[in-house]
Chains A and B, each alone.
Chain A
Amino acid sequence: MTTSFSLPRRRFVQGLALGGTALGLGLTPTQLFARQGQTGAPELRGNQFQLNIGAADVNLTGRNRPATLVNGSLPAPTLRWREGETVTLRVTNHLPETTSIHWHGLLLPFQMDGVPGLSFDGIAPGETFTYQFPLRQSGTYWYHSHSGFQEQSGLYGGLIIDPAEADPHTVDRDYAVVLSDWSDQDPKRIYATLKKLSHYYNFSERTLFDTLRDFREKGVVRTLKDRHMWNRMRMSETDLADVTGYTYSFLVNGHTPAANWQARFEPGERIKLRFINASAMTIFDLRIPGLDMTVVAMDGQPVKPVRFHECRLGVAETLDVIVEPKDHRAYTLFAQTIDRSGYARGTLTPDPSLSAEVPELDPVPLLGHREMGMGAMDHGAMGHDSGAMKTMDHSRMNHGGMDHGDMNHGDMSGGMNHGSMNHQGMSHGTQDGMDHSAMGHTNHDTNAAVPFAVSADNPDLPARQSATEHADSEYGPGVDMRAMSPVPMLDDPGIGLRDRDWKVLTYADLEYAHGLPDSTQPEREIVLHLTGNMERYMWSFNGIPFADAEPLELYHNERVRLTLVNDTMMHHPIHLHGLWSDLELGDGRLLRKHTLLVKPGEKLSYLVRADALGRWAYHCHLLYHMEAGMFREVRVVPRHQHHTDEESRS
């Protein structure tokens, strides 16, 4: 493939290719370049595909803005495959820059995983790369660019793999619901803006009037105490999303709320909705007012069915639900963002002329002690009044899980007001500040035999006394906070959803449908802390950004426990490529996933079978966090290689 032709010619070729593709899809060039009001991504079935990645304008907000599209559509076409087949995808790059497609959640040879720099060199302008791999799984997944910010500008689409054998959940209708965030701003500009002023997009900051209202409602002393901690820590109580509805439009299958994507049904039918959060940065809270949902799969993997009404879906997660509307009426698919700055909306209706009421956005929730990693027992949830904490014994705290050495490092710790913490967990004096058995997490805490992975060469793997002990690398300009008492929160609906009077789905409700997918006994444990500095907009694991990090080595076929401790105030959807992440639910139960939404202040662990050799990406799926450095390479190497290394060292 030559890439030496001049730019004008390349543009011509690009236009030709897109035009040709569009004609193939029955789209006119006008539709291609002005997609306002167009229905969702086309579905392509089969096992041989030609995908053309190119630039085109889309009009979602009234203005034509450049987007990165596959075959001229936003989202990219939904690909429908069948388990057991081998798919071949010829992907041609008509962009003036390198591109790639990553098949999110799929088990495949690492050379087919589509991460430039790890799997391959990326697809250069004008070049075609052929992906070919057998399908060893079924379910709902998605695909997206792993190059630059192309994912933000439209390069994402749904991926459905029908099971080789009959689906246990027969349905009358089956819809992919791709949720995403769109900005008219250039994503590079968004990232640069966050580096300059990280709260640029947050228009829910606490104001003087909020303070005055709190004075009136909570009293002056209580208000000042509550605010004292935040002010000393230099953190915002409303920092729920870095990029918000200020610049984003939230889409359902490429439709803005005004364009209102519609799905048809007849009353009495069983409908499968395959929710895919294909956003760059947006965590959604999903519900269908008037209708309960039954979850049958998450991240493509079957789960024991659970009925629920609302669910928080992290970036890159997928959720298959079945709904059975009985009445002849419309229902709103309502997905408000975690920071309540906007919503995506669609309509489920028996009649295209019907629509249902769109709920109001909830008030902006305020981050609390729990999100600060100060344990699950904030006074809001536990009903303690602020008098109780004055009795707290500081000397006991010293001997418990809290390390006062850590606390004097100036940032988070400097900001702790012991008098106002009201934190029961600390006086328990356990290493993690909490009694895990009480939380229903007996499994990994009783398994004391699993050694922490330690490596003298890799600062990611320092010797630790406990998973919640902070590595030396966490003390630097890139880390503004370290959770003192991170706790398991699998059964916690999460901030903004705790006071619902309906069922909110949590990870603790879910379980892999067919018993245990794999062993619950790991050979060793690797601990990683999710770290960052919001003010500087730096993000990392263990305080070390990708640029400075060593690859994490796993040995072929070993079963390893990855424990994550979230030391930041934000949620992070953490995704490991190429290998399953079996979330430990406690009591020996596992939930098989590819992306785990880790709450602020949370500690969770999952088991990974390193059964695919190669170089895999492991990262936060918030696009700008990944770009800022919350990323690791995971290398699965043959065991003998590891042993040889050790022998040569000794």
Chain B
Amino acid sequence: MKASMTLSGLLVALIAVFVGTPALAMEGMPARFGQILVDQLEARDADDGTVAAWSANAWYGGDINKLYFATEGERLMDRGGETESLETRLAWSRAFAPYWDWQLGVRRDWQPDDPNRDWVSVGVMGVAPYFFETEANLFLGESGHSELRLEAEYELLFTQRLILTPEVEASLYGKEDRDLGIGQGLATVEAGLRLRYEIRREFAPYIGVHWEKKFGDTADFARDHGEDTSDTMLVAGIRVWY
């Protein structure tokens, strides 16, 4: 825990140096921009009730250096409401190629009952050929834990405003984490298919399907707890940004 606090401090200092170094625009005004994107804010019709899920990120900075924040989580809406998972990530994002940024950051998983987990993250994100929005992150946690997470997303235009977004995400772990019911190797794969209508570019309601499946030891842990290893859910939500 202490180590991660130190790391967070270091990261903030790094960000301050790099994001703070102004790439001066025409009249000496630093060109800074920021965006908040709530990519998914949705209700999922899951086996054990309605789940609210979100995935959002925000950035602030110049063309090359940005401060990047991301959060995702799920919250059970029935039985009085209970946050099932919450993850936050703060990173320094730096452009290194026309379509690619690398990211260096810290992540915290906030567990309702179990111990929180802190991680250091190293990753790349960007646009791969064929317009695949791609993200790959390696997370290194305490006690030798590690996770490799790969994500890809695509936008298929039916019209200028009606857009189908398939996406897929896979998590692999380097070491078993019994407390959290995670086994070594490929642990989970999630896939989604969402159809949104952009009333404005910034505001788009959507409907879709979300599918999750656990693999390997992770699936065994789930079965031991009497949980399903896969779930297919209908979702409805909105995508907004500013």
Contact = CB atoms under 8 A, between A and B. Distances in A.
Interface centre among B23, B99, B156 (most CB of A within 10 A): B99
Contacts of B201: 197, 200
Contacts of B159: 207, 209
A117 B63 CA distance: 23
Interface residues of A, number: 44
Nearest to B100: A477
Contacts of B99: 234, 411, 480, 535
Contact of A148 (B24, B27, B33, B95): B27
A477 B64 contact: yes
Contacts of A234: 99, 127, 129-131
Nearest to A197: B201
A538 to B, nearest CB: 5
Given A195-B33, A196-B241, A208-B158, A545 B23 contact: yes
A350 interface: no
A231 B131 contact: yes
Most buried by A among B24, B63, B100, B241: B63
Nearest to A536: B63
Interface string A198-213: 0010011111110000
B211 to A, nearest CB: 22
Nearest to B162: A207
Contacts of A208: 156-158
Interface in A359-412: 410-411
Interface string B137-176: 0000000000000000000111110000000000000000
B124 to A, nearest CB: 13
A206 B95 contact: no
B35 interface: yes
A415 B35 CA distance: 29
Given A232-B130, A415-B129, A147 B27 contact: yes
Nearest to B29: A148
A442 interface: no
Contacts of A232: 129-130
Contact of B97 (A147, A192, A410, A631): A410
A548 B23 contact: yes
B169 to A, nearest CB: 21
A557 interface: no
B157 A206 contact: yes
B28 interface: yes
A128 interface: no
A627 interface: yes
27 contacts: A98-B27, A116-B27, A122-B27, A147-B27, A195-B33, A196-B35, A197-B201, A203-B160, A207-B158, A207-B159, A207-B160, A208-B156, A208-B157, A208-B158, A232-B129, A234-B131, A410-B98, A411-B97, A411-B98, A414-B129, A545-B23, A545-B63, A546-B25, A548-B23, A626-B26, A629-B25, A631-B26
Interface of A: 98, 116-117, 122, 147-148, 192, 195-197, 200, 203-209, 231-234, 410-411, 414-415, 476-480, 533, 535-536, 538, 545-548, 626-629, 631
Which 8 residue pairs across A and B have the least CB separation, nearest first? A477-B95, A480-B98, A232-B129, A207-B157, A231-B130, A411-B98, A547-B24, A195-B33
Given A234-B129, A536-B98, A547-B24, 11 more contacts: A197-B201, A205-B157, A206-B157, A209-B158, A414-B129, A477-B63, A477-B98, A480-B99, A536-B95, A545-B23, A626-B26
